[in-house]
Amino acid sequence: MPVAVVSNNSAGAVTTYLTDHRLADYVSPVVGRAYADPARMKPNPEPILQAVRSLSEPPGRCVLVGDSLSDIEGARAAGVRVIGYANRPPKVRTFRAAGADLASVFRAPS
């Protein structure tokens, strides 16, 4: 299954993280923020659509897993399915209200 990363952080920072954690071989493309145009950051759907085009899949066959409201809103605007990955229970309600197809709370292992 192809995997892309779309981040409001720089593509370089994300690529460094993936490389440091031996994950870079599993991810392509990495789409980061456009320095010259902050208006193109999520929730703008453009970076998500850029990843979708790189994967050569229609938006409806893609899923975004996001941890912020801008992820949920951007995914909805791009026409991709979206899973809200909440770090606090109140975010589940926020993500569902924003249109997440699924929202759940992350619980770190004990």
Residue 97 is assigned to a structural domain of this protein:
yes
Residue 31 pLDDT level (bands cut at 50, 70, 90): very high
Q: What percent of the chain has pLDDT over 70?
A: 98
DSSP 39: G
**pLDDT (0 to 100) of residue 38:** 84
| Full residue range of the structural domain in which residue 35 is found | 5-105
Residue whose token pair is 């992350």: 106
Domain of residue 9, CATH code: 3.40.50.1000
Residue 16 is assigned to a structural domain of this protein:
yes
Written as one letter, the residue type at 85 is: Y
Tens digits of residue pLDDT in 40-80: 899 999 999 999 999 999 999 999 999 999 999 999 999 99
The Cα-based distances of 47 to 8, 58, 84, 92, 106 in angstroms read: 9, 15, 18, 24, 25
Residue 51 is assigned to a structural domain of this protein:
yes
Q: In the chain, how many domains are there?
A: 1
Mean pLDDT of all residues belonging to the chain: 94
Residue 110 is assigned to a structural domain of this protein:
no
Prediction pTM value: 0.90
